[in-house]
Amino acid sequence: MQVIKDIPIDKINIPQERLTSTLTQEDFESLSASLRELGLISPISVTPDGSYFILVSGLNRLRAAQSIGWTTIPAIITSADPTKASILNITENLARGKTNPIDEAYAIQNLITMTNMDMTQLAHQLNRTTQWIDSRLDLLLLPDGLQEAIQNGQLSIAAAKELSAVEDPHILEYLTNQAIQSGASAKTINAWLRKMDTNALNSALMDHSQTPPLPTPDQLNPTIDCFACGTPNSPYELRPELLCETCRHALHTTSLPPAPGTGPG
């Protein structure tokens, strides 16, 4: 049974292990302004705990309400047990699509610890596939530095997984910093790992000498101008043509129109 009523904000306890949507400062200020002007359209969810309440979902709304001086807040009071409350917390926040992958992983791990559910049961409860559950739990196997970079939005999951193949901690730290600074994609990092001289890089890092430069995007993705129009293309996008000498000579001596955007302005 659910009841909606105004409850004192100072009577709401926030559990340590919970999932919440990630808001930018601009989003948070917009939410606070909306509460001030329109009120709370969607109540938070809580479950009773003696004379207090435990927050199930709505942490950002609760904090926004506090920021504008509210002392009470509309809340849906549900009699959910801790397991059900945790499931509600995760599913509601996943539905909003603004949760952090690392936070998702820890919330799922905590739910597994609480319930001992297997992957199939967990996937059913969270309305996700078992593959999705596995992919999130795999993130907890990443080194702390890579988890932090994902959590801060500095690296994509794919980029972090490429970097996780690096076993030397000094090289991993160096490449992680380089990837963050340059905004390197997973494809670029994969190329770094294939082309770099690991021994030379490790020696330079240990000696605190100048590190050998990593390949630039242009070096990793060379282009060749199309013979006909002059447009730069990846070598993989160019096609060979079988021509006799007469036709080849005619093609070389034919004046072709410039490529789009390359003619006189």
Distance of CA 23 to the CA centre of its chain: 14
What is the H or E stretch that residue 203 is in?
helix 198-207
236, pLDDT greater than 80: no
pLDDT at 241: 76
261, pLDDT greater than 60: no
pLDDT at 217: 57
Q: List Cβ neighbours of 165 (8 Å cut-off, separation of 6 or more).
A: 193
What is the H or E stretch that residue 75 is in?
strand 72-78
Q: How confident is the model at residue 32 (pLDDT cuts 50, 70, 90)?
A: very high
pLDDT at 209: 63
The three-state secondary structure class of 93 is helix
Segment 7-16 shows an average pLDDT of 92
Distance of CA 78 to the CA centre of its chain: 32
CB 79 within 8 A of CB 45: no
How far from 190 is each of 7, 65, 144, 220, CA to CA, in Å?
53, 45, 20, 10
62, pLDDT greater than 70: yes
Q: List Cβ neighbours of 160 (8 Å cut-off, separation of 6 or more).
A: 139, 142, 146, 147, 149, 150
54, pLDDT greater than 70: yes
Least confident of 52-56, 91-95, 117-121: 91-95
Cα–Cα distance, 244 to 198 (Å, whole number): 47
CB 233 within 8 A of CB 226: yes
130-147 b/e (C-beta count within 10 Å ≥ 16 → b): eeebebbbebeebbebbb
What the block records as the tokens of 43 is 């109540």
Could you tell me what percentage of the chain is helix, strand and coil, using 3-state DSSP and rounding each to the nearest 5? 55, 10, 35
201, pLDDT greater than 80: no
How far from 69 is each of 15, 38, 76, 148, 171, CA to CA, in Å?
22, 15, 20, 33, 49
- For the stretch 138-169, pLDDT in tens is 999 999 999 999 999 999 999 999 999 999 89
The three-state secondary structure class of 5 is strand
| CA-wise closest residue to 46 among 87, 104, 7, 10 | 7
Distance of CA 182 to the CA centre of its chain: 17
Segment 172-200 shows an average pLDDT of 87
Distance of CA 28 to the CA centre of its chain: 19
CB 130 within 8 A of CB 120: yes
The model's pTM: 0.68
Q: Domains of the chain by range and CATH?
A: 2-138 (3.90.1530.10), 142-219 (no CATH), 222-253 (no CATH)
